[in-house]
């Protein structure tokens, strides 16, 4: 698990930074970390958890260069090319209003939003969660 690997590496780096003999630092392996006391492991897991919690926030927002508009009559007007992601914004018109939707092409899911800011925020949250899960930062 990613958490265990990070905690074990931090534990090893601490030994190196403390100037312990090389043989001691080399002995601080992930397997050796797994055999340490629960108290020691909890200490390093706190640091690993902080790192893992910070990583998704470091993923940059998606870049939006275009919006596709569904006029409600089966036709769409595209306003440009999309720079990134399997995401795009689509405007769907209802009987007396319109709603912004984030369309995820990768899993064919749409989520309606009342404003473009909400749609963009939802797409960015989905994007970060997908990357974090794929990288093993989150379950």
Torsion of CA 47, 50, 55, 58, to 10 degrees: -120
- For tokens 């640091």, the residue is 47
Query: What residues does each domain of the chain span?
Result: 2-54, 67-135
End-to-end CA distance of the chain: 10
- pLDDT tens-digit readout, 35-64: 999 999 999 999 999 999 999 888 888 766
> What pLDDT is stored for residue 125 in this prediction?
83
Confidence of residue 114 (pLDDT cuts 50, 70, 90): low
Helices (H), ranges, the chain: 2-18, 22-26, 30-34, 38-54, 116-135
Arithmetic mean of pLDDT, 64-79: 48
């Amino acid at each position: 698990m990613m958490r265990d690997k990070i905690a074990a590496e931090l534990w090893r780096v601490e030994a190196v930074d403390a100037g312990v003999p090389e043989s001691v630092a080399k002995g601080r392996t992930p397997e050796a970390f797994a055999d340490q006391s629960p108290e020691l492991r909890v200490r390093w897991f706190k640091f690993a958890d902080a790192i893992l919690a910070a990583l998704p926030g470091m993923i940059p927002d998606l870049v939006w260069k275009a919006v596709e508009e569904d006029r409600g009559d089966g036709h769409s007007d595209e306003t440009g090319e999309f720079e990134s992601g399997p995401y795009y914004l689509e405007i769907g018109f209802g009987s007396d209003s319109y709603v912004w939707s984030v369309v995820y092409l990768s899993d064919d899911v749409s989520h309606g939003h009342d404003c473009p800011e909400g749609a963009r925020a939802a797409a960015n949250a989905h994007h970060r969660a997908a990357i974090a899960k794929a990288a093993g930062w989150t379950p």
